[in-house]
Structure 1
Amino acid sequence: MDICFNKPHIATERLHTSQCSLLSSKMKLPFLTFVLFLLFVCCQSVSHNSLRKQASILVSLKQSFGVSDHPSLVTWNLSQYASLCSNWTGIACDNTTFFISSLDISSLNLSGTLSPVITQLRSLENISVDGNGFSGAFPRTIHVLKKLRFLNISNNMFSGGLEFEFTMLTKLQVLDAYNNNFTGSLPLGVSRLPSLTYLNLGGNYFSGDIPPSYGGLKLLNFLHLGGNDLKGVLPSHLGNLTNLTQLLLGYFNQFDSGIPVEFGKLVNLIHLDLSNCGLHGEVPKELGNLTKLDTLFLQTNRLTGSIPTELSNLINLKYLDLSNNQLVGEVPAQFSALTKLTILNLFINRLHGDVSIFVADLPKLENLSLWDNNFTGTIPPMLGRNGNLKHLDLSTNKLTGAIPKFLCFGRKLKTLILFDNFLFGPLPDDLGKCKSLSRVRMGQNYLSGPLPNGFLYLPFLSLVELQNNYLAGKLQGSNANPSKFLAQLNLSNNRFFGSLPSSIGNFSGLKILLLDGNKLSGEVPSEIGDLKSVLKLDFSRNNFSGEIPLEISQCSSLSYLDLSRNELTGSIPSQLSQLHILNYLNVSWNHLSQTLPIEFGSMKSLTSADFSYNNLSGSIPETGQYSLFKSTSFEGNPNLCGPFLKRPCNDSSSTLPLQTNHQVDSKTSKVPAKYKLVFALGLLVCSLAFVILAVIKTRKMRTHSKPKWKLTAFQKLEFGSEDILECLKDNNIIGQGGAGVVYGGTMPNGEQVAIKKLGTSKNGGSHDSGLSAEIQTLGRIRHRYIVRLMALCSNKETNLLVYEYMPNGSLGELLHGKKGGCVLKWDTRLKIAIEAAKGLCYLHHDCSPLIIHRDVKSNNILLSSDFEAHVADFGLAKFMQDGGASECMSAIAGSYGYIAPEYAYTLKIDEKSDVYSYGVVLLELITGRRPVGDFGEDGLDIVRWSKMQTNGTKEEVGKILDERLKKVPLDEATQVFFVAMLCVQEHNVERPTMREVVQMLAQAKQPNTFHMH
């Protein structure tokens, strides 16, 4: 009998029950352990399978990036799937499920496409691929990632539309697609994202109106739609987004409306940017309700009326920019309440009245720019007393009185620009102690007295313009070292007297030195020859005496020299002929004697010279550059003779060289004819033998060596080197230039490419490590307005560069060449100008180290199917310097008609050389003419022709406009011409940077003219 079921007594029953349970537990324990073991093994198996599957998806995704062995993704290896969550770059997993929750591969210099395989990672909450070079369409199936909260695809080159099933992304909080190539309308589905707090669609090509439904995104705190092609009315519905802290709608959008008064309801706004987007009407007083604002940008619009006093309620405002509008009236005195204001920009308006005293009391003011208005009265005497002033520009007004003495009180002042006013009195002594000072422009005033002690020796000084004043005194020498940054010193048309100190030679960084129109005397110091970088010297209209110092010939960069209207004596030094880029020389109205240096005739750079009104004698050389000078260049010298002056010279002196040459010729003619014939036959036999040997050697080399091709891909390729080589046929040639021959081709997958075969260098090969490394650098460049280098195919003899194909060819072809039948409209030309400028700006300012194009021209600006500009062949001119120069390519890099004057003879270039060439392209766009050859006169180019036709003034631009253009907005053409003239300034220091060019061209759609300061 089983005692477990015997129940004679309750106590006995409980005892036996306890014993039974214990026995049962002992029996179950091994079983449970076994079950737990099975579950653990099963879970481990499931976990490993999941990791392997996710790793496989990532490897497939990596293959779509185009470069399978990218150094940043070496950990993405299927054999290492077990460490997926702990060691794979940019991967984070859920700690419980081990599913990938975050993919962050931002700023890894990746390219190619983003494969839809990414949507198989269904647990993703974060996708960050920003700061790469991804192109093509963004995966439309992204909506299946229902857990997605954060999506950042900014700063890539994604294209097409941005429409997908947004309604399924109910958890999405951040959508950042800034700075891509998206087109079409703004995505409507965005307005159906209930959790969205951050939306950035700026810097794309979205067009049309802003959907009113965007006003329903109640949780939104950041909205950026600027930098697109949006038009229409600025929707008042955006005023419903009361949680917004940042709203950016400006730059390149062109709205046809005013600022909605409903924006006054956005009381949580901290940053409001409505700049450069075509707004008109008055500034709404309701903006005064936005008391949390620290930034208000309304510049470069067509805003009218007065500045609302209600803006003084913005007590947290730090940055206020209302510049480049049509505002009138005075600056409200109530602005004294803006005690946090750091930057106040009101330039290019129609404001008048005094510069309010309150600006001197703003404790944190650093930047005050009021130029190009109608301000009168004096500059507040306490301005700068706050100790924070860094930049002050009050130029082009009607200000009077003295310059305040506290401007540099805090020793932070960097820029002081007061030119074109009615200021008088001395320069404050304190400026001589302002060590932070960099740019000083105070010309065209009535300033008097001497320069402050130490002023010209401030350590960071880079530009000094004090011309057209009444400054006087001696230019004091010093043992101190002047600023190595000082490039331009203009003291012309003042009353300085005494000698020029020998310490002038210590200003080694000077590029422009203008001392004309003073009362300086004594000899020109020989130390002037220490100015190795100087481009322009003007000492005219002084009282300098003695001889022209021979040391001037050591100023190897000099292109402009004016010593006219002094008291100089002696001869003109023939050593000046060593100035190989000198193109302007004026020594007129002196007391120079003896003969004209015959060496000047061989100075090919010298295009203008004036020797008039001296005591020169002898004959005027008739050859070389002398034949180009005007007859007035020699008048006023009674003892000079020659055809220029219609004053015949002594026959004997003029015929002697001819007799000498004749005698030499007669001696050579005595060689017997039979010896000449024998010599010619011998030379012919030797030449034939040399050619035969060369052919035999070449055939042997071809027989014994078949160079192997190496393909270096800079993105994912669906073709190989064989496909590339198959395109190298004569009937595929689509272009030829100094950098090589260009072939067009279609790859097996249907993709069109352009293949540039680089010319071979002089050493017989083109495959060297230096060139390969440089091309590797170019291959990593990814920018919307730069032609994408897809691959390098090379062997020991040849380099083939594979580029994306541009179906509309080059700008040069459309303006002048085979495609000239297609007349580009003005809007398209302006668009191309801005886009090409942005491409060059990227090379100059966003690449480290900067990249100099070296051959900017219209033929190197290629156009896509929608006429988007892409800069091509950047940097290639550098590679070709060792090769033979073709008829298109200069031996110093650059194409004829585009070469900046300073390096046509020096072989020295910098980014300002590119700026000059770009200015020529702008003139091509305006005129429709080629850089050279379209102007009748020999040697006349588009730059000089444009200046001649317009007298160098932008108001005459109508005279040179392309006759094929119709209905050109004159204000736009004027602005583009203005920029072009700045770009082609003779001296490179006077040219803008490409970043400044982009900013100025952005104003072309505005009626107000932008001035560089």
Structure 2
Amino acid sequence: MHASSSNMIKNGFSFVFIILLLSLPFHGNSQNNDPNQEQNILLGLKQQWSNPPSLSHWTPSSDHCTWPEIACTSGSVTGLVIINGSITEAIPLSICDLNNLTHIDLQLNYIPGHFPTVLYNCSKLEYLDLSNNYFIGTVPDDLDRLSPQLQVLNLSANNFTGDIPAAIGRLLNLRALQLTANLFNGSFPPDIGHLSNLEELSLSYNAFSLQSIPNSFAKLKKLRNLWMTEANLIGEIPDSIGNMSALESLDLSTNQLSGGIPGSLFLLSNLTFMYLYNNRLSGPLPQSVEAPKLQILDVSKNTLNGTIPIDFGKLTSLTGLALNFNQLSGEIPASIARLPQIVNIKLFTNNLSGVLPPEFGRYSKMETFQVSENQFEGEVPKYLCENKVLRGVVVFDNKLRGGLPDSLGDCSSLEVVRVHDNKLSGRIPDGLWTSENLTSLMISNNLFSGELPHKLGPKVGLLELMNNHFSGSIPPSISSWENLKVMRASNNLLRSAIPQELTALASLTILSLDGNQLSGSLPSNIVSWASLTSLNLSRNQLSGGIPTTMGRLPDLNSLDLSENAFSGQIPPEFDSSRVSFLNVSSNRLSGRIPSLFENEAFQGSFLNNSGLCSDIASLGLSTCGAETRKSNNFPSGLIAAVSSTAAVAFLAVCLYTMYVCRSYRRRKQVSGSTWKLTSFQRLNFTEAIILSSLRDENQIGSGGSGKVFCVPISRSGEYVAVKRIWDNVKLDEKQFLAEIRILGTMRHSNIVKLLCCISSETSKLLVYEYMENQSLDRWLHSRNRSHNISGHVVLDWPKRLQIAIGAAHGLTYMHHHCSPPIIHRDVKSSNILLDSKFNAKIADFGLARKLIKPGEPNTMSVVAGSFGYMAPEYAQTRRVSEKIDVYSFGVILLELITGKEGHYGDESLSLAEWAWRHIQQGKPILDIMDEDLKDPLYLEDITTILKLGLICTSTSPSSRPAMKDVLQILLRCGPISDKTNGNEYDAAPLLQSSDPEICFQSD
């Protein structure tokens, strides 16, 4: 349910409770308590609740009827309302000694234990709210022993399990029953249909056993709100539901309902909200429609077919229409465009066609217009922003022609414009470029022309112009586009040099200018591009040298300079870069390639540069040697002079180094400052070996916390990896040592070994085992796929499955074999390292945290992690559990299958969301697979693992399996040697409930 809809229902829900509360009769006390006695009872409650600070004002010296938590009628206590009062103890038996108590509200506390049957003794109770507490166990079968006068019962957001008892149907005066967001895993009783006075019923967000909507519910003639979101409903929506004449709000979304939508629903005269999205509903939409009060209709993410009924134009109160992700065809009835209240249109991802009705927005205050991924022709409706409140235009992937309407250039409310993948042409309205609230402008794959603007809107962060006919030069005023993060302008007609002013964009993360007519040399001063992760300038006419500062960009991960006229050497600064994809082929470069790239992961990166050389034969370059040196054609006299000078300089450096070292030893002896080594494994090196090798030429990477070095520790070719924590990073010494001791004590073949820690007063060094094949992302996302000597793809499916199984072993150990469990919090392909045999090991525990108890969530003060891998509940609530690692691992499974990066897509779309959408649209699984994996021999296993990846990336944490279950499913697809000792795991129960029709559903 969207936020606006949720808020409307929430507000309506609160309003209903207020009305119910006001309508509850406050009886005179036929059994009047002595006021002093009632105060003593209340003070006794406070004491039994361990005197919470929220009740500190409950004192004998004040009148208890003046306490804000107490309501009195005729001097006797009738209401007790303690909300968010930090109560951590059970409800005492003495609470019902308040004989006239009718109203109890203890929501948002920490009350533990089973359902408080002590409340059976409150004989006059009419209102009971125990929501948002820590109750456990089942709701008792004799619940009807509660007061027969009870009108409101709210047990939402607790931990109740099992069935909802049939006894609840005997509380005949109930007007509101809320059991939302518990752990019910049994059934709900048809007996609820006996509650003839019921007005509110909410059973949402419970994992009930599969169950259909009982026909008895149709007898609830007074029911106004029925909410059963995500309740494991199956079967058809009974046509008799149309007999619930008082129904105002119906939410049956995110279930497994099938069949058609009953036409009787559209005849309900009071119906205001109808949410049926995320089900398996099929068939045509009902043709007979009345529902004069219907405001929001959301039946998206089903398999509905047929056309949109003309009668929808009768829904004059409709404000939101969501029919997206269905199989609807035909045209949009023109009458819908004339609805006076319609503000949100979502018809994307269907088979709709024809011309978009031109009057959309003319008669209503249109806010969002989303009709992408259809077959619409004609023009973009020109009145969309007639009322100046339009926030989003999303019409991509259609067959629209003509230009963008001029009215979009006078629409300051616009935030998102996505018109890419059409046949639109002409110039972009000037006002659209500079719109003050615009954040995303995506107009790629059209026929637009003209020049880039001199000014861009102050909030634009995403600008995509690829595959159009934009011409002219990049304006120097581009330096004013200060909030731009992503600029993709590939395959246009841009010319001239890249202006120095472009380097002023400090927030830029992705810049793609490939396939243009740019010329001249690159700007030399690009150090301000500190946030840049991807740069593509291929297929231009650029020349000159590659700036040395490019090798120092701290976050640059992907660099493509191919098919230009660059000359000179590849700067040695790249040896300390983080570049994992590089393509400089088809240039005029010369000299030895940096050692960072001398491995098979960069095969194809340097071709067609006759002057480049390498000692790695598989890179396809000449070998660096005597011939290479001769080709430099330096005069022999100059070489001799340089050699002599170098020898003298070398001798001077050696003498100076000896002097410095002796001075250092003397200073260290005087100051007493020493390095402390804390070992976690048996070591065959000393701290002196490590310290002497922390030189720039040994640096292999850097991150947010420091630099990483590859250090040789023996002449036989042994290495270790050393992470040096930045000197300016302040660490609590005790906490730091405590955390690394935890990591140091972990013993598992799929977790990178922490060998030791070397620390001084100013520096911290962590020494790990060295992983020859570096990180998974370097092999997986390189455009030029890695090959071994025999020419076969290294990362074929067996190799990828081996990596997945290894990583799963490591996470399973952390989650299920460490006490307390350890959550990594930053599982991603760059943190999965590969040894010489491609065995996977989990690395980088900088964000790892211990859980208090197995399965118990924690809340972090700050969200940390990587976009594309971060579980939605963690990003939104900062609450962590093992399931956030499961989500991240699911993304890695999708990476292994698709070959795409975890953040694949735009700023609002991740690989997981892209994959879910692909499956929801019913597209073949082959289309999602990496080209290198399309071997029929492995198709069944790959399909199984794809399903597993999607299950792991479910938006609901409770829907994700535990890592131990994930591992067992992977082992079933692995080689025989990987399976457990004769104890094969049956994955069928998990995957049978996860076919594309059922589990491939995500917002």
Deviations 1:920-967 (A, max 9, x none): 6325368899x9xx99xxxx99999x999x99997369989xx9x999
Give unpaired runs (5+ residues) of structure 1: 1-45, 693-734, 744-758, 765-809, 825-831, 837-853, 879-892, 904-908, 981-1000
Residues 151/613 of structure 1: CA separation in 2 closer, same or farther (3 Å cut): same
| Paired AA for residue 176 in structure 1 | N
The match for 2:550 among 566, 576, 588 is: 576
1:592 aligns with 2:582: no
Q: Which moved more, 1:189-198 or 1:341-350?
A: 189-198
Note the alpha carbon deviations across 1:126-169, whole angstroms, 9 max, x for none: 11122334333231110111111111122333222222542451
Unpaired stretches in structure 2, ≥5 consecutive residues: 1-30, 677-736, 746-756, 763-806, 828-843, 905-909, 920-924, 956-990
Contact 1:130 1:153 in 2 (8 A): yes
> Contact 2:229–2:253 at 8 Å: present in 1 too?
yes
User: Which structure 2 residues correspond to residues 140-151 of structure 1 after superposition, within 5 A?
Assistant: 140-151=117-128
**From 383, 396, 411, the counterpart of 1:419:** 396
User: For 1:343 and 1:273, how far apart are their aligned partners in 2?
Assistant: 15
The answer to whether 1:182 aligns with 2:160 is yes
1:459-470 to structure 2, matched below 5 A, reads 459-470=436-447
Q: Which of residues 809, 813, 830 is equivalent to 1:816?
A: 813
Letter matched to residue 249 of structure 1? M
In the TM superposition, 1:34-433 aligns within 5 A as: 50-65=34-49, 68=51, 70=53, 72-77=54-59, 79-80=60-61, 82-86=62-66, 88-95=67-74, 98-108=75-85, 110-163=87-140, 164-230=142-208, 231-251=210-230, 253-310=231-288, 312-433=289-410
Contact 1:591/1:615, CA 8 A, preserved across alignment: yes
Q: How does 1:574-973 map to 2 (within 5 A)?
A: 574-603=548-577, 605-617=578-590, 619-625=591-597, 630=602, 632-643=604-615, 645-646=621-622, 648=624, 649-650=628-629, 737-738=739-740, 815-816=812-813, 819=816, 864=854, 869-872=855-858, 874-875=860-861, 921-924=886-889, 955=925, 972-973=947-948
Residue 492 of structure 2: aligned partner: 518
| 2:457 aligned residue (482, 494, 497) | 482
Tell me which residue corresponds to 1:703: none
Q: Which amino acid aligns with 1:390?
A: E
TM-score by length of 2: 0.67
Following the alignment from structure 1 to structure 2, what is the Cα–Cα distance between the partners of residues 915 and 74? Answer: 33
CA contact (8 A) 2:593 2:613 kept: no
Q: How far does the alpha carbon of each residue in 1:54-96 deviate from its partner, in whole angstroms, 9 at most, with x for none?
A: 3333334334545x352x322122x32x41111x23112122x
Amino acid at match of 1:558: L
Task: Tell me if structure 1 keeps the 8 A contact 2:182–2:205.
Answer: yes
Q: CA deviation at 1:419?
A: 0.9
Q: How far apart, CA to CA, are the structure 2 residues paired with 1:560 and 1:967?
A: 30
d(CA) in 1 for partners of 2:878 and 2:447?
Answer: 36
The equivalent residue for 1:724 is none
Judged with a 3 Å threshold, the aligned counterparts in structure 2 of structure 1 residues 947 and 227 are, in CA distance, closer, same or farther, namely: closer
Contact 2:954/2:1002 (CA < 8 Å) preserved in 1? no
After superposition, what is the alpha-carbon deviation per residue over 1:636-658, rounded to whole angstroms, capped at 9, x for unaligned? 33344454521542169799999
Cα distance in 1 between the residues matched to 2:199 and 2:875: 44
Distance in 1 between residues matched to 2:666 and 2:367, nearest whole Å: 79
Counterpart position of 1:806: none
SS of the residue 1:368 aligns to: strand
Which of 425, 430, 434 does residue 411 from structure 2 map onto?
434
Change (3 A) 1:259 1:739: farther
Q: 1:1012 to 1:521 in 2, by over 3 A?
A: farther
Contact 1:215 1:237 in 2 (8 A): yes
Residue in 1 that maps onto 2:967: none
Q: CA deviation at 1:294?
A: 0.7
Mean CA deviation greater in 543-552 or 407-416: 543-552
1:410 CA displacement: 0.9
Please say if residues 926 and 973 of structure 1, whose CA atoms lie closer than 8 Å, have aligned partners that are also in contact. Answer: no
Cα deviation digits, residues 560-608 of structure 1 (max 9, x gap): 11111112222222122331111112222222233322222222x1222
Offset from partner CA, 1:475-505 (integer Å, 9 cap, x none): 2313xx6222x21110111110011222222
**Cα distance in 2, alignment partners of residues 217 and 244 from structure 1:** 10
With CA pairs under 8 Å and 6+ residues apart, which has the higher RCO, 1 or 2? Answer: 1
Q: Which residue of 1 aligns with 2:506?
A: 532
- Cα 1:646–1:125, aligned 2, differ >3 Å: closer, same or farther? same
In 2, distance between residues paired with 1:560 and 1:54? 71
Q: 1:1008 to 1:326 in 2, by over 3 A?
A: farther
Please, which moves more after superposition, 321-330 or 565-574?
Answer: 565-574
Q: CA–CA distance in 1 between the matches of 2:569 and 2:551? A: 14
- Retained in 2: the 8 A contact 1:855–1:874? no
Identity %, equivalent residues? 28
Distance in 1 (alpha carbons) for counterparts of 2:379 and 2:540 = 33
By how many angstroms is 1:290 displaced?
A: 1.7
Deviation of residue 107 (structure 1)?
A: 3.6
- Alignment match, 2:724: none
Instruction: Let me know the Cα RMSD of the aligned residues.
Output: 4.9
The alpha-carbon deviation at position 541 of structure 1 amounts to 0.8
The question of whether the paired residues in 2 share the 8 Å contact of 1:84 and 1:91 is answered with: yes
CA deviations 1:492-546 (Å, max 9, x no partner) are: 1111001122222222111111111100112222221221111000111111122
1:208 partner SS: coil
Task: Work out the CA distance in 1 between the residues paired with 2:235 and 2:135.
Answer: 31
Match of 2:997 among 958, 983, 1007: 1007
Distance 1:967 1:114 in 2: 53
SS of the aligned residue for 2:284 comes to coil
Confirm or deny: 8 A CA contact 1:387 1:408 kept in the other structure: no
Question: Counterpart of 2:235 in 1: which secondary structure?
Answer: coil
- Which letter maps to 1:922? Y
Report the alpha carbon displacement of residue 392 of structure 1 after superposing the two structures with TM: 1.0
Q: TM-score, normalised by structure 1?
A: 0.66
Distance 1:357 1:452 in 2: 27
Equivalents in 2 of 1:487, 1:681: separation in Å?
Answer: 54
CA distance 1:119–1:914, change in 2 (3 Å): closer
User: What one-letter code is carried by the residue in structure 2 that aligns with 1:405?
Assistant: K
Alpha carbons of structure 1 residues 226 and 900: separation in structure 2 relative to 1, 3 Å: closer
* Counterpart pick for 1:559 among 533, 552, 565: 533
Conserved? CA contact 2:330–2:352, under 8 Å: yes
* Partner Cα separation in structure 2 for residue 911 and residue 762 of structure 1: 39
- Alpha-carbon separation, structure 2, partners of 1:623 and 1:302: 55
Count the aligned residue pairs: 763
Indicate how the Cα distance of structure 1 residues 373 and 188 shifts in structure 2: closer, same or farther if over 3 A, else same: same
- Distance in 2 between residues matched to 1:951 and 1:298, nearest whole Å: 23
